[in-house]
Structure 1
Amino acid sequence: MSENVEEKTPEERRALFRVVKGDPTPEELAALTVVLAAAASGGDTPPPKARDLWSNPADRVRRPLDVGPGAWRASVLPR
């Protein structure tokens, strides 16, 4: 049982892709390389998530109650 396996050159083993059909120009190969490299890079890092103040653990601690005129306004204002 003989297999017809071609031995690859070091350049072929290192290549990211291989052209199996057609005869692209060097410019076309360069453009394809840029597109594939950009797709493989994953793009920019995602923006940091905005702080969720609804789940702030400091809000679970009870604050002293304000008394006097306008105290109801002060009860909802952040400190």
Structure 2
Amino acid sequence: MAERRVKVESEVGLHARPAAMFVEAASKASGEATVAKGDGAPVSAKSILAVMGLDVRHGDEITIRVDGEDAGTVLDRLAEIAGAA
């Protein structure tokens, strides 16, 4: 399992287009992919409703976890999307 904490730099947080890009990238993981806001409970990073339900805003810190053979690559892409300005 790969894990990373990321500060969300996108002005709109993980809403609308960034959330769709995040879920699309997470869906490419061969294993489970989750995201949690702060110290909250993790949700599936492969579900647009779950990701948008976290209400992640600019400046929030999230924890991304990815399982599977491609975990490092998928995690890098998710962190890039979430941290994008």
Give me the TM-score of the superposition, normalised by structure 1: 0.24
Answer 1 or 2: which has greater helix percent: 1
Higher relative contact order (CA 8 A, sep 6+): 2
